[in-house]
Structure 1
Amino acid sequence: MAADDSTSIPLTAMGCRWILDLTHLPVAAVKEMRRRWSRCEELDADPATIALDEDRVPVVPVPAHRFGELQESDRHPPSPPVFVPYDDHRLHALPYDLSRALTRRGITRLTGRALLLHAAALTDAAGRAVVLVAPSGTGKSTASATLGRHLGYVTDESVVITWVGGEARLAPYPKPPSLIPTRMGEAPTAQDKDERSPDDLGLAPTHPDPVVAAMVTLARSDEADEPRLVEVDLLDQLQDLLPETSSVFALPDGLEQLARAATRSGPPLRLEYREIGDCLGLLRSLLQERERPAPEWVHLPPRPGERLPPSSESGASWDEWPLTAGAVVRRLPWTDAIAHEGRVLVLLHHQPVLLAGLGELVWTQTGTPRSVGELEALAVAAFGEHPESARLVHDAVASLAARGLVVVDPEQGEGV
C-alpha cells in the first residue's frame, strides 16, 4: 500500500484498472475515502487478481461548482475520467455516489466482454464462491454484511464472470457495502445509503481469484420457518436471473453463459429464508458439496446472418389477415435461445420470450421456411388430432408474428 497521504490510488475493481484521484477532496475526507477502497487497492497489487481491462480510468470526486469546467476540459481523452460531483454540505453522500458512478462505468467497459449480474458474492477459504442474486433493494448488501463476517467478502452488488478453462472466474469488487442506516424518527431512502470500509464492518478477507461454485436466487419470506434451498426449473430460473443481468444480449452466447453459471452446483436453486443470518450453515454446506448433475439443455444460437442486429427493432407487423395452408412462415433473427424439456426461451435483445406447446413447435420448426399446412401436419404428429388444429396453429403463428419471432410471406399469405 502506498503512503497514507497519497491522493492518487490505483485500484482494481470489477476486473478493471482505475486511479482514484482524491486531489479535490478536503484533506480530512481523503483518509476515510481511501480506507473505504483499501481492498480494491490491495487487489491491484496482487498478481492473482483477474484484470479484463488494463486501461487506467481516473475516478475523480470534484466540487459540484467545478464539475462542468473539469468535464469540459477532459472531453475527449483516451480513457475519459469518471467525475463525481459533490456538495460540501452533503459530503456524506459522496461515497455512495462514487461507488455508483464507478459501477456504471465498469458495466460500460465490460459490456460484451463478461457476464454481468446485479448480485452479491461470498467465498470459502479456498475461493469457492456462492453468488446471491436478487433485485435491487431486497437484501444483497445486508446479506453481504451479515454473512461476510464468516465467508470471504467479494462484492455486495456487482458480479463479473468470465470463463477460463471451463471455470467461471469471478472478478472481485469489494467496494464498501451500500447499507441503509437506521435513524431515529427518519425514513431513510436509497440516497441515504451508508458506505463503510469492509474492514470497519468486520468482513472476512477478499479472495483475489474466486471461482463460482454455486449461484442462488434470494427469496425472503416471513412464512419461511427454516431456510431451505429449493430446486427450480432451468428456464424459470433464467427468467428470474435475466432482469438482474447487464447487457447479456451483447454476448454472442449470453443465455448459454447464464445457464452454465446458474448450474455450477447442479440444478438451479432458490434460497428461501426469513432471516439471512440463519442461512450461513446452509451456504457453507452448499460450497462443500460435490457438484451434482446439472439439467440438460440445447443451446440454439443464431447462425451467421440470423442474429438480431443490436440497433434493429424486434417485432414484425401483423395485419391479422387470414392464413392459407400455403402461407410460408419463417423465423426472424434473434439474439440467443435455449431449449429445455419441451420449452424454449428466446432472447430478443434484452427481452426474453418463453415458448411452449405450439409456440415452441412453430418457432423451432421455422428455421427452414415452412408452409402453414406443413406446420399443421407437424402439430398433429406432435400433439395428436384436434378438431380445431388449423385454428390453433394459425393462432400460434399470429402470436409469434406479433412478437417479432416469425414472419409470414405476405405474397403467399394474403386472403383465403
Structure 2
Amino acid sequence: MPEVFCVDAVGARIGIDLSGLDEVRAAAIRQAWADAAADGIPDVVVTPADAPVESMLSGLSQLVTITAIDAARGQAWMLHAAGLANETGEVVVLVGPSGRGKTTASRVLGREFGYVSDETVAIEESGRVRAYRKPLSVIEDPALPKAQVPPSAAGLRPLPDATLRVCAIVLLDRRPDHDGAPEIEVLDLGDALGDLVEQSSFLTHADAPLQFIADVASAAGGVRRVVYREADELVPVIAALMDAGPAVLPARTTPAQSGWEPASAALPQAVASTPGAAPRFRRADWADHIELHDPDRVAVLSVDTRGRGTVRVLAGIAPAVWRAADGASLDELAAAAVAAYGTPPGPDAAPAVLVAVGALLDAGLLVSDEPRLRRRDDVAWVDRDDRVYALALDDVDGRPRLLEGTAAVLWDWLDDPVTLTQLSARATEQSGALDHRVAEDVAVFVAELVDLRLVAPVGEPGH
C-alpha cells in the first residue's frame, strides 16, 4: 500500500506519494511541509520527481501549488498573495506582482502576526480564508535550487485557533526612495481591478467573479494601496486594519439576478440580411460585469478562446453604448448616449459614438452583423516612402492603384479582417475631428477597393 503524506493547500488535501523515495528524501519532504500537514484522505496525489533533494523539494513545491489551485478552482477567489492573521482570525491580504516587496513583507510581518501564506490566499463566498503554509523558498547557496524551509523554522508565527476571515485587501507598493511613514490610500475599485485580476487564478471559473471582488472590497472598506520603504514599518498599519474586524459579505447575486445576461453567441460575421441596411451591434459574450459610479463606468470581464480572462473598464460614453448594444443601430446607440449623458457641445453625438463603437469592436466587447473585410491574397502591392502601389493579379490590363496618406493607413488596417465600422471609427479618431464626413469618405474608398478587386469580404474568393 503506498505511503502518502497529506498536506493542506488552500483547502485542498494534496497527498505526496513517498513510496518510491528513500528515507532521506521522504524525511526531507515531511520536514519541509510540516506546517501544512493534514489528516484525512487526500483529494489528489502527486509524485515527487526523482532528483537530488534540493531539486526535488523545489519542484515539489511548484507541483503541489499548481495541483492545489487547480483542485480549488471555482470554489473561491484565489489570489497570488500573502496573508497575515491576528489572534481572532482577521486576515489582511497583501497583493502585488513580483518585486513589490510582498514576499519580504510577509516574512517580516509573519513574526508579528499569524502566518497564513506567502503564495496563495483563497477567499470563499462567506469571507472565510483558506491558508497555505507551504515551505518558504530561501536562497542559501546561489549555485543551488532554493532551500524549502517550513515557516515555523523561519520564526514565523502559527495560525490562530480561530476561523480565518478576510478583513482587508492591500496592494503593496514598496519604494526604496519613500521618505516617512507608510502612506495609505483607498483606491477606486476601477483603478484596483487590473492589479487584482492580474494576480488572480482561475477567476473565470467562478460565478460572477467581478461582483464578488466588488463585494469583498466594499465589505473591507475598499482596496488600499500602501506605499512604504521597509517592511517592519507596516506592523502598525496591518494591526490597525485587523482591529477594524472581519469583512461582512452580503449574500451573493448571480448573473441571472443582476439583470444582465451574456450574449449566447456572437452574431454571424455575414452581410446584413437586408441589402443596404444599417449595421447592428450586440454585446459579445462576457463572463461578468459590474457597474462603477462617480463617474459612471462599467468593468467587463471577457474570456478568450484559451480561457484567459481580461477586465476592461469602460468610461466616457462607452458604458451607455455597451449597455444599449442589444441589436441596436449606430443611431440608436447615439440616442442612448445622449439620453445618458446629454447632448454634447459642438458636433452631434454620432461621430463620438462611432469612435466608441469602433473601440469596443476592436476590444472584442461588441460584435456586428457586418461582413469583415481584408486585402485579397491575389493582390501584388509594395509600400514605398509611405505610399502603397496595389494591383489585382487577375487585372492584366490594369494599372497599380496609388494609395497615400489616409488611404495608405486604411490599407495597412486591412491586413487583418475588419469591418467598415471599425475602419470608419479609426479614421475618424485619427483625423482629430469628430466629423461624420470622414466615415462617408471611408465608405466610398472601401467600396472602390472592392470594385478594383483589391479587397473582399472574408470567405469570398480571393482569401
TM-score by structure 2 length?
0.69
**What are the superposed Cα offsets for residues 350-370 of structure 1, whole Å, 9 maximum, x if unpaired?**
01112111211100122x332
Listed one character per residue, the Cα deviations across residues 241-293 of structure 1 (whole Å, up to 9, x for unaligned) are 11100111111211111222334420210121111121011101111025799
CA contact (8 A) 2:267 2:368 kept: no
Q: Report the counterpart of residue 370 of structure 1 in structure 2.
A: 328
Residue 172 (str. 1) matches residue 168 (str. 2)? no
The answer for the alignment partner of 2:396 in structure 1 is none
Q: Does 2:364 align with 1:404?
A: yes
Aligned counterparts of 1:293 and 1:176: Cα–Cα separation in 2: 31
The answer to whether the aligner puts 1:221 opposite 2:208 as a matched pair is no
Residue 96 of structure 1 aligns to a residue in which SS?
A: helix
- 1:79-119 superposed Cα distances (whole Å, 9 cap, x missing partner): xxxxxx1423xx21222211110110112112222211101
> Is the Cα–Cα contact under 8 Å of residues 267 and 292 in structure 1 kept in the other structure?
no
The separation in 1 between residues aligned to 2:194 and 2:154, in whole angstroms, is 34
Q: Match of 2:14?
A: 18
Contact 1:144 1:177 in 2 (8 A): no
Alignment of structure 1 residues 45-194 onto 2, 5 Å = 55-61=42-48, 85-88=49-52, 91-164=53-126, 168-181=127-140, 192-194=145-147
> What letter matches 1:218 in structure 2?
L
Unaligned runs of 5+ in 2: 304-308, 372-419, 422-442, 445-463
Amino acid at match of 2:69: I
Q: Quick one: distance in 2 between partners of 1:369 and 1:308? A: 11
**Which residue in 1 is equivalent to 2:302?**
348
How far apart, CA to CA, are the structure 2 residues paired with 1:220 and 1:315?
A: 47
Please state how far the C-alpha of 1:375 moved relative to its aligned partner.
Answer: 2.0
Instruction: Give the match for residue 204 of structure 1.
Output: 157
Distance 1:102 1:290, change over 3 A: closer
Amino acid at match of 2:330: V
Task: Using CA pairs under 8 Å that are at least 6 residues apart, name the structure with larger relative contact order, 1 or 2.
Answer: 1
Q: Structure 1 residues 86, 262: CA separation in 2 closer, same or farther (over 3 Å shift)?
A: farther
What is the aligned-residue RMSD (CA, Å)? 3.3
Give the distance between the partners of 1:200 and 1:292, measured in 2 at CA: 31
How far, CA to CA, are the matches of 1:277 and 1:197 in structure 2?
21
Percent identity over the alignment?
Answer: 32
With 138-147 and 105-114 compared, the bigger mean Cα shift is at 138-147
Q: 1:144: Cα distance to partner? A: 2.0
1:249 maps to: 204
Q: Partners of 1:173 and 1:315 in 2: how far apart?
A: 44
Q: What SS is found at the alignment partner of 2:13?
A: strand
1:330 lines up with 2:282 in the alignment: yes
Q: CA deviation at 1:7?
A: 5.5
Q: CA deviation at 1:228?
A: 2.3
For the residues of structure 1 that align with 2:160 and 2:25, how far apart are their CA atoms?
28
The letter for the 2-side match of 1:402 is D
Report the alpha carbon displacement of residue 315 of structure 1 after superposing the two structures with TM: 11
Q: Is the 8 A contact 1:326 1:373 kept in 2?
A: no
Q: Secondary structure at the match of 1:387?
A: coil
Aligned partner of 1:390 in structure 2 is 350
**Counterpart-to-counterpart distance in 1, 2:56 and 2:99:** 19
Taking the aligned partners of 1:169 and 1:293, their CA distance within structure 2 comes to: 10
Q: How many residues align?
A: 356
- What SS does the aligned partner of 2:156 have? coil
Aligned partner of residue 6 in structure 2, secondary structure: strand
User: Computing the radius of gyration over CA atoms, which structure comes out larger, 1 or 2?
Assistant: 2
Distance 1:301 1:383, change over 3 A: farther
Aligned equivalents of 2:30 and 2:257: distance in 1? Answer: 46
Map of 2:375 onto structure 1 = none
Q: Give me the TM-score of the superposition, normalised by structure 1.
A: 0.76
1:38-90 per-residue CA deviation (whole Å, 9 max, x = no partner) reads 1221x547xxxxxxxx75322322xxxxxxxxxxxxxxxxxxxxxxx1423xx
Counterpart residue type for residue 392 of structure 1: A
The CA distance in 1 between the partners of 2:270 and 2:228, in whole Å, is: 46
| Aligned equivalents of 1:304, 1:377: Cα separation in 2 | 22
Match of 2:23 in 1: 27
Q: 1:224 Cα shift?
A: 2.0
> Residues 112 and 338 from structure 1, CA distance in 2 versus in 1: closer, same or farther, beyond 3 angstroms?
same
- 1:358 corresponds to: 317
Deviations 1:131-151 (A, max 9, x none): 011113543322222110110
- Tell me: CA distance 1:301–1:135, structure 2 relative to 1, closer, same or farther (3 Å): farther
SS in 2 for 1:357: coil
Q: 1:267 to 1:173 in 2, by over 3 A?
A: same
* 1:233 pairs with 2:188: yes
